[in-house]
Amino acid sequence: MNIKRSFVLYFLFVGLLKAQGAWMMSNRTHPELKWKTFQTTNFNIHYHEGIQAIAIQGANMAEQMRSTLMQQVGLDTIPHLDIVFTTEDEVMNGFATPANYTVIWVDQNDVAVWAENEKWLRTVLAHELQHLVFFSVTKTWLPFPMNNLYSGTPGWVIEGLAEYYTERWRPARFDLSHKYHVLRNTVDKIKDPHNDGFSKCLYFADRFGDSTMEKILNHRDKLGLFNFKQSFKKYTGIKHKQFEEDWRRHMNTYFFGLRSQKETYQDVGRVYRLPMRYVSGFDRFSDAMKVAMVGRKDKKQGDYSLVLAMRDTKKEQKKYRRELKKKKDDT
């Protein structure tokens, strides 16, 4: 009886994992939407009313991307894929599942800085389709999710490859973030696999080449299963842990090297100390006794505040005298 119960629970669990929808991002459903579907040579395209033109454009893009994405990882065949386009709840995201479908939010207006001169539809569609290609090239006879657990593939590989194969390195993705973590000496503690995954894949390709990653993804052990760390060691000659340490050192060397060639803050302009930690902008009053600031008081604050601060000259004098006395004592 326990065995039967375990099988039932297993299939329920797998069914839930493979049946993720747009609702999981906002905990909202939209029964008022009327959905339609059309087929292309290699895709089933699902969309709701109001975005037919975007769905057709996305379908054309997907057909053009498919062969390139498969060639990058050495994949010969792939099942018919399902793409769901939606604008519900204005989520700037997309996700893919091992069940050969992806859900993509389209018609986003807040990505100009993040995507720069590239359209959101092309960026997110290529990224999510690469995930589906990855799931196919690493698929084995072992059912999901046991094959994923056995493979032990780090999250940075899944997200990093999608970025490496379909995007370009840019300030918001994730040059600025790496500079921040290098200065704080927290490169090895980056939590977002999109973040360190992109730079790790760039470093891997520069050191070992694209063909090495292709061999790793297509390798199977004696059981006919995909084991990432075993394949990684076989084709690179080093352990995955050593690779991550080499990458950390490389990132620190690279970004500190860039920093050493740049001007100091004082060379750029005046440096101000403000009574607010996260400041987006500020302006001083003509009498220099007040300052208006826009920003956040701490990390937990989600919105921005307008703060009017007044100088306490008596406290400033006491602080100045303490610093002056400390300098005299040191000398």
pLDDT at 6 over 70: no
* Residues 147 and 140 sit within 8 Å (Cβ to Cβ): yes
DSSP 33: -
**The predicted structure's pLDDT at residue 217:** 96
Q: Give the residue-averaged pLDDT of 148-166.
A: 95
Residues 6+ apart with CB under 8 A from 35: 46, 47, 48
The Cα–Cα gap between 168 and 208 comes to 19
Q: Of 91-95, 102-106, 169-173, 268-272, give the lowest mean pLDDT range.
A: 268-272
pLDDT at 112 over 80: no
* Residues 47 and 88 sit within 8 Å (Cβ to Cβ): no
DSSP 264: P
* Residues 282 and 292 sit within 8 Å (Cβ to Cβ): yes
pLDDT at 5 over 80: no
User: Of 15-24, 65-74, 93-102, 114-123, which one has max mean pLDDT?
Assistant: 65-74
**The predicted structure's pLDDT at residue 288:** 78
Distances (CA, A) of 156 to 101, 152, 191, 233: 21, 12, 10, 17
**The predicted structure's pLDDT at residue 13:** 52
- The whole-chain average pLDDT of the chain stands at 88
pLDDT at 224 over 90: yes
Q: Of 16-25, 160-169, 222-231, 245-254, give the lowest mean pLDDT range.
A: 16-25
**The predicted structure's pLDDT at residue 58:** 97
Q: Band the pLDDT of 107: cuts 50, 70, 90.
A: confident
CATH level 2 (architecture), domain 16-260: 2-Layer Sandwich (3.30)
Place of tokens 């040579």: 41
Give the alpha-carbon dihedral of 102, 107, 113, 115, to 10 degrees.
40
**E strand or H helix that includes residue 94:** strand 94-97
Q: Give the residue-averaged pLDDT of 128-135.
A: 97
The end-to-end CA distance of the chain, in Å, is: 82
* Residues 106 and 88 sit within 8 Å (Cβ to Cβ): no
Q: Give the residue-averaged pLDDT of 4-32.
A: 62
Q: Band the pLDDT of 11: cuts 50, 70, 90.
A: very low
pLDDT at 64 over 60: yes
Residue 267 in tokens:
């060379």
Question: Between 90 and 255, whose confidence is greater?
Answer: 255
**The predicted structure's pLDDT at residue 77:** 94
Q: Give the residue-averaged pLDDT of 172-200.
A: 92
pLDDT at 7 over 90: no
Residues 6+ apart with CB under 8 A from 281: 293, 294, 295
**The predicted structure's pLDDT at residue 125:** 96
Q: pLDDT by residue (tens digit) across 271-330?
A: 888 888 899 899 988 887 889 999 998 888 888 999 998 888 888 788 888 888 888 887
Sequence ranges of the domains in the chain:
16-260, 276-330
